[in-house]
Amino acid sequence: MIDLANIFLQVKEITLATGAFIREERKKFSTDKIEYKGLNNLVSYVDKTSEEMIVKALEEILPEAGFITEEETINKTGERYNWIVDPLDGTTNFIHGIPTYSISIALHEYDEPVLGVVYEINLDELFYTWKGEKAYLNGHPINVSGNKTLGESLLATGFPYYDFDKAEQYISVFKELMQQTHGLRRIGSAAVDLAYVACGRFDGYFEFNLNAYDVAAGAYLVKQAGGTIHNFTGGDEYINTREIVAGNGFTGDNILKITKQYF
């Protein structure tokens, strides 16, 4: 059995160091450094360098572990353990100077999460959890909200930006929830959205066209903070289906009542 508490302390140092690098690079970042992976899918040297820093350090912690990473700077699959890494979630925000972007790191044992870390860089907020522990924000335990009224809920979402096949269904869900809640926010980092559900700032969150590295750490935080995670039809598989509904139980169930109508 690996010592998850000790591993977390090492991951924390890696995350904070990489966050400091990203923060400094933002001060001198130029838009001529932007590359395109696809339609509206942006990347920069900061994403790639950050991932290389994280991967190199994580390999020293668990040499046998594999990786699932956004920038694919390493090709390695572990039999038992795999790190799931987004070195800069919210790249578009970063490029445009909008101060919400994060680092997301999860560790899976086989197909089950055992550790999750999300670091919101600009606010210096470290959300974390591991198997057998509570979820925390900067050392303080966190929980999902206790709100049981959808009409008083604040939800988060994300807009499709390159795959628009389900845009009409999404707009229908968005329209219904827009009218039934305090509002919906789109802050541009799925990892932060989920961390904010975990600590009760958002009462729920839904989005599609997501990848494992977008949600692995944040979804585990929500679960460890007492929340629920499903796909749009209510199933437990949210990574391979690339869609997610997160909530405090009540809100998640009520979002699902709507997503099930359209997806």
Annotated binding site: 70, 86, 88-89, 214
CB 101 within 8 A of CB 47: no
Whole-angstrom distance, CA of residue 203 vs CA of residue 252: 8
Whole-angstrom distance, CA of residue 6 vs CA of residue 8: 5
Q: How far is CA 157 from CA 123, 177, 212, in A?
A: 20, 11, 17
Half-sphere exposure at residue 97, Cβ-oriented, CA atoms within 13 angstroms:
5
Q: How far is CA 31 from CA 25, 26, 92, 210, in A?
A: 12, 11, 11, 25
- Strands in the chain per DSSP E: 35-38, 41-43, 66-69, 81-89, 102-109, 112-120, 125-130, 136-137, 140-141, 154-157, 183-185, 204-208, 228-230, 243-247
Residues paired with 173 in a beta bridge: none
- Neighbouring CB atoms inside 10 A of 145's CB total 25
What are the binding residues for Mg(2+)? 70, 86, 88-89, 214
Place of tokens 């190199």: 56
Q: If phi over 0 gives left and psi between -120 and 50 gives alpha, with beta otherwise, what is residue 242?
A: left
